Amino acid sequence: MNNVETDAQKGYLITGAAGFIGYFLCKSLLEKGCRVTGVDSLNDYYDVTLKKDRLKRLEIFKNFVFVKEDISKREAAGKIFKAYRPDIVVHLAAQPGVRYSLVNPDAYIQNNIVGFYNMLEACRQYPVAHLVYASSSSVYGLNEKGPLTESDLTDRPISLYAATKKSNELTAYAYSCLYKIPATGLRFFTVYGPFGRPDMAYFSFTNKYFAGEPITVYNNQKSETYRDFTYIDDAVEGIERTLNHYPAGSVPHCVYNVGNSHPESLTVFIEKLEKSLCEASEKDIVFQKLYEPLQQGDVTATYAAIDRIKDAVGFVPKTSVEEGLKKFAAWYVTFYDIR
């Protein structure tokens, strides 16, 4: 996947290991000979078959240990840390999705607030060299200037999901200040690719097409929306480059954007997805579209400034949207046996 150097002598604990980003991060570390403990509750927010399939592909590695546990339970995180004593923790487990936070807010408080607190407490009780955790571009809320920099205001979240991620950053900062826990938050910008999350637009559009259903585009044809689509390999490289780059100073905490830094209009993105699926399936594919207004909690544009992470660890994304969608389409038609 990438040629980032990692310390195979350290033990890595990855939460959300059966999730999209978690799976690819575990796989990359394991291929480098690292010792990885993966934790996941295998909840049913989306098709558990995908999660179990990812997990099977990790369990072939002798240096991988899987723990099925819900870290939002107070005792769970402490037991895991006590048993496996990780050196570096990557906390990716969370309840994702902006729109679902309107339907089931309890899941976000329990998983994203309580679960994150439990991880911080475990890091305090069983000290680690570094905690890297997933934040989100959603923390920028109504701040839609471009590109978005880490120093921009993030005090206007427009979804509960965004508010929980901002809370994570603030709580991590406090723990870094109080207990000197080196912590790095990564604001991911629309990560996509093979084996991804079915609730995300590109995957959902593809599922709907092959189910014979129209796709819903939330822009009402009145204004275009833009997203900074980040391919999974690039996102994982961004994580890996930060693992052994510990924050320093009186408060050892920092935040980085992880994005492609090339926003794409949703209309053009859909056209490129159609083309990629045509090539992969050898079918003439055109989505039937239904247009609706922008939904509550959605922003019109995201655009990442990545100078900070580039300067700190040399991160430069390499995958164009065209290349990334081709890889997704090739995986999809194979995985779902599209003929």
**CATH number of the domain residue 307 falls in:** 3.40.50.720
In-domain check, residue 180: yes
Is there a domain that residue 237 lies in? yes
Q: What is the pLDDT of residues 142-168, one digit of tens each?
A: 886 789 999 999 999 999 999 999 999
> Is 80 part of a structural domain of the chain?
yes
- Whether 198 maps to a domain, the answer reads no
Q: Can 161 be counted among the known catalytic residues?
A: yes
For residue 179, tell me if it sits in a domain.
yes
Whether the full predicted model's pTM is greater than 0.85, yes or no, is: yes
Quick check: is 210 in a domain?
Answer: no
Asked whether residue 337 is assigned to any structural domain, the reply reads no
Look at the chain and report how many structural domains it folds into.
1
Q: What is the pLDDT of residue 339?
A: 78
Active-site residue, from 161, 209, 303, 332 = 161
Three-state SS string across the chain, please? Answer: CCCCCCCCCCEEEEECCCCHHHHHHHHHHHHCCCEEEEEECCCCCCCHHHHHHHHHHHCCCCCEEEEECCCCCHHHHHHHHHHHCCCEEEECCCCCCCCHHHHCHHHHHHHHHHHHHHHHHHHHHCCCCEEEEEEEHHHHCCCCCCCECCCCCCCCCCCHHHHHHHHHHHHHHHHHHHHCCCEEEEEECCEECCCCCCCCHHHHHHHHHHCCCCEEEECCCCCCCEECCEEHHHHHHHHHHHHCCCCCCCCCEEEEEECCCCCEEHHHHHHHHHHHHHHHHCCCCCCCEEEECCCCCCCCECCECCHHHHHHHCCCCCCCHHHHHHHHHHHHHHHCCCC
Span 227-278, pLDDT tens digits = 999 999 999 999 999 999 999 999 999 999 999 999 999 999 999 999 999 9
Domain with 248, as residue range(s), is 11-192+229-260+302-318
Residue 1: which pLDDT band, with cuts at 50, 70 and 90? very low
pLDDT in tens, 185-236: 999 999 999 999 999 999 999 999 999 999 999 876 666 789 999 999 999 9
283 domain-assigned: no
